[in-house]
Structure 1
Amino acid sequence: MGLGELFQVAFDWQFEFEKVGLIPQKTMTATFPTRVNWKPPHERRLKMNFDGACDLKNGLSGLGVIFRDSQGVMKGAMAVPQVRKLPSRSVESLSLLHGLRFGLHVGFLSIEVEGDTLSVINSFDDLSYEGHIIDEVKSLVQSFNSCSGHFVKREGNGVAHRLAKEALKISQPFLCLESGPDWPHQCVNMDFQCEV
């Protein structure tokens, strides 16, 4: 008996048992996963999404950060390669750190921070976590007029993820403010259009 025939026999038996009341009937309901899209920040604030990527085979890490306004317009972006093998949490933490430094440097002082690594986002409030990267993050956060951290699923962090992946392919950091190559703008436009 083949697998298809076995499946059909099992299905028929289940139907018969349900019909005579030996097992309760199951109602089939279709569930579809909900899509998580990027959501704009509050007015007069920018949203900073950050992500990290690792290429364990080649010992590389990449940091990706994107800043967008409440209209979804890119205000700044960076893709920074790291030539060393690091744990993924360290890569995510470095991405957050570099993003905050970049934001302060260019004057983005009211930001909402989103990342897809819950443990790094929770470190905003977790004073017990030790580590020089997170200690510096906590210190930098005090320099902003307004800075809050939020967890977002990977699907809502797509542009930062793409920037982190691109960082694995380059040898020098890529930084831009509003203008820059077309590909980051195209990523932002595609990402934001999913929300509208």
Structure 2
Amino acid sequence: MKAPVQVEKWSPPNRPFLKLNVDAATDGKCGVSGVCMALRDEVGQLKFAAHQVIPGNPPVLAIEALAVLHGLKLCLQEGCRNVELESDAANVLFALNKSGLDLSIEGAIFDEVRMLMPEFEHLKWRKINRSCNQVAHTLARQALRATGWSFWKEAGPPWLEEVIDNDRIF
């Protein structure tokens, strides 16, 4: 008899942190990509969420790095300076921990993220499983069907609120 599989879920940040979850998605057939970000507090309440469609099929690493960059920029814009960033893109987080010259396509994005870091009081990140990143994953998939940039503050559309509510059961 097999033991039941325990699915990992989103976990709330500790005060004074807010948690930023980011993700990206691509649709090679349609030639679009999407980046997204969702910021929530210690009870799982949405502070903001956003997604953006990006035309073309840039490398996945570049799209995932753009999600981090745009998410951190929005945090600063909204006055959030204590942030725990979570992503399921381990390669992006690994690259951000490296120092030195990076001549890859994504190198300029990583450099821009590193330039933002001093603007935060506290910024930490960690890799998580997709099951812990459902809100961001759903936003990224929705971005593939959107046009342009969408931003929600304090509350999202019904389809997003449903995912947040399901995710908030800690």
User: Which TM-score band (shorter chain)?
Assistant: over 0.9
Unmatched tracts of structure 2, length 5 or more: none
Aligned Cα root-mean-square deviation (Å): 1.3
C-alpha distance after superposition, 1:135-178 (max 9, x if no partner): 00111122111100100001101110100000000112111110
Pair 1:118 & 2:94 matched: no
8 Å contact 1:81–1:168 — kept in the other structure?
A: yes
Q: 2:68 aligns with which of 72, 92, 96?
A: 96
Report the secondary structure of 1:54's partner residue. Answer: strand
Whose strand proportion is higher, 1 or 2?
2
Pair 1:148 & 2:124 matched: yes
Residue 182 of structure 1: CA displacement? 2.3
Kindly report which structure 2 residues correspond to 1:62-81, keeping only aligned pairs within 5 A, or say none. Answer: 62-81=34-53
Match of 1:172 in 2: 148
CA–CA separation in structure 1 for the residues paired with 2:49 and 2:73: 12
Instruction: Assess, with a 3 A threshold, how the Cα gap between structure 1 residues 89 and 33 changes in structure 2: closer, same or farther.
Output: farther
Residue 51 of structure 1: CA displacement? 0.3
Structure scoring higher RCO (CA < 8 A, sep ≥ 6) equals 2
C-alpha distance after superposition, 1:18-70 (max 9, x if no partner): xxxxxxxxxxx524433110010111210000000000111100011100000
Unmatched tracts of structure 1, length 5 or more: 1-28
Q: Alignment identity in percent?
A: 31
CA–CA separation in structure 2 for the residues paired with 1:96 and 1:170: 19
Report the secondary structure of 1:103's partner residue. Answer: helix
- Matched length: 166
Residue 120 of structure 1: CA displacement? 0.8
Moved more, 172-181 or 81-90: 172-181
Pair 1:86 & 2:54 matched: no
Residue 129 of structure 1: CA displacement? 6.3
Pair 1:30 & 2:30 matched: no
Q: Which runs of at least 4 in structure 1 moved beyond 6 Å after TM superposition?
A: none
Pair 1:46 & 2:4 matched: no
Pair 1:108 & 2:80 matched: yes
8 Å contact 1:123–1:129 — kept in the other structure?
A: no
Paired residue type of 2:113: V
